Amino acid sequence: MRIGKGIAALVVGVTALTAASSGAAAAGREDGPASGPARTAADELIVGFEKDASAADRERVADKVATLDRDRLVRARGKAAVDVFQLRRGSSESRAAATLERDPAVAYAEPNWRLTKADVSTDPYYTDGRLWGMYGDASPTRQNPYGSQAAEAWGSSLPGRTGSKQVVVGVIDEGVMVSHPDLDANIWQNPGEPMDGQDNDGNGYVDDVNGWDFAHNDSSVFDGRPPADYTTDEHGTHVSGTIGAENNGAGVVGVNWDVSIVSGKFLGANGGTTADAIRAVDYMTNLKLKQGVNVVATNNSWGGGGYSQGLNDAILRAAKADILFIAAAGNDYRNNDKRASYPANYDTRRSTSTEAAASYDAVISVAAINSGGGKPSWSNYGRTTVDLGAPGAGINSTVPPDSSGTAYWAFDGTSMATPHVTGAAALYEATHPDATPQQIRNALLGSTVRTSSLVDRTVTGGRLDAAAALAR
């Protein structure tokens, strides 16, 4: 039984993108962004005094609203005093500020804003508006509330907020162009396997330096010969770019600027087989169990065929090795509740006759949304079987360069939505290195933003919010 490439509705070519703000103006309250974390120090005000204000004036002013004058920011002789006031519990900062500013001794009273180091991509596809899937409603440079909110996650104060090379993601798909200038620094390098014709790490694969090609049973995970044959492995390369294209001032940027991508190639020009898919999944599991590689998740932007217990078992083994299996819901215009789409419909809480269940569901099924928050007609859905939506229409990412030198194309499909979620899972691991896969799943699904096109069509009724997930 052959599995067709999971991009039946994929538009192979440049898709005209709408403006980054498309659809935002028409969004109702229901589709608004989730409330973000407080951005001021609670119950605190910074108060600047007039230059001639005395110590008695400062005490009198403090008595109006504060329990104490917590800190003196400016105390030099001859300069106006600036203090930090700790307000009485439950006080309104805005009302307290208004009260203070009516006092003649006070020059100003303002919130004590929480400031964080802000990381913003300088890559041109990000800055010129073509990378809408990375934007958020309050992201620097460009905004789109229906993006993944990755850009807001990059601006958080969490260590690892732009990713980590210690986090490994398996791309089970076509191969990956490991030399692509936007991917080369984020390709996994097998520490135990020099390219010398030997199986040095003893895992049964000779020279699996960057992963393995299960379709051709060799170590070359990229078989394209651009520009003459740039379409070979373009799908796997495109998916990889969304997960982890570098922030290098050129091209696109991924959800993670730093990550390690390992290729489990099993799809070729004519699709792939279930057997090769099983081998690819087990390869990732064994990397983690036998070689200690920190494989956090696999991206599975493919589908087709019917139920396979062999593949189900492989996914169960991966789940019990603490590897999430993030899968495209499919591009078949259908309800997965009524007609299952595999592998998205597997559930690792259910055992098979040959493999015990995992304690959690490692499978996260992803539908697509467009830049206006709508679900494209081709995207599969399911109130009980599809977990959330993510950007999947007009998604620019990396591809092998064509004869004109173009190394970036826009594709449509749940194939493109899935790596946004996989990237967010990797970003969560980078910022929460002790998280369990259940905790990562809970963070991703528990932080979605309610979206009208996904209500009653997905489990969460919402879309990915990477920044909110990191804050959980």
Q: Which of 235, 238, 420, 432 is catalytic?
A: 235
The pLDDT of 414-441, averaged and rounded, is 97
pLDDT reported for residue 258: 98
Residue-averaged pLDDT of the chain: 85
Tokens of residue 78, six digits: 């001859």
Q: Structure pTM?
A: 0.76
pLDDT score of 138 more than 80: no
Q: How far is CA 150 from each of CA 104, 123, 428, rounded to the nearest angstrom?
A: 45, 14, 11
Q: Which of 20, 144, 15, 11 is nearest to 413 (CA)?
A: 11
Q: What DSSP letter does each residue of 369-380 carry, written as one string? A: E-TTSPPPTTS-
Q: Which of 173, 223, 282, 465 is catalytic?
A: 173
Q: Can 57 be counted among the known catalytic residues?
A: no
26 band by pLDDT with thresholds 50, 70 and 90: very low
9 band by pLDDT with thresholds 50, 70 and 90: very low
pLDDT reported for residue 71: 63
67 band by pLDDT with thresholds 50, 70 and 90: low
Q: Is the dihedral of CA 305, 380, 455, 426 positive or negative?
A: positive
Q: Which of 415, 420, 447, 465 is catalytic?
A: 415
Task: Tell me if 362 sits within 8 A of 376, measured CB to CB.
Answer: no
pLDDT score of 413 more than 60: yes
Tokens of residue 308, six digits: 């396979």
pLDDT reported for residue 292: 96
Q: What ranges do the domains of the chain cover? A: 2-36+118-470, 40-113
The pLDDT of 153-172, averaged and rounded, is 94
The pLDDT of 343-353, averaged and rounded, is 95
pLDDT reported for residue 78: 63
- 389-408 pLDDT, tens per residue? 999 999 999 999 999 999 99
CATH classification for the domain delimited by 40-113, as one of 3.40.640.10, 3.90.1150.10, 3.30.70.60, 3.30.428.10: 3.30.70.60
More confident: 354 or 72: 354
Omega before 227 cis (within 30°)?
yes
More confident: 63 or 183: 183
DSSP state for residue 229 in the 8-state scheme = B
Q: Can 403 be counted among the known catalytic residues?
A: no
pLDDT reported for residue 14: 27
Q: Can 313 be counted among the known catalytic residues?
A: no
The helix (H) or strand (E) run that includes residue 59 is helix 55-65
Mean pLDDT check: name the lowest of 33-42, 56-65, 166-175, 374-383.
33-42
pLDDT score of 135 more than 50: yes
Quickly name the fold that domain 2-36+118-470 has: Rossmann fold (3.40.50)
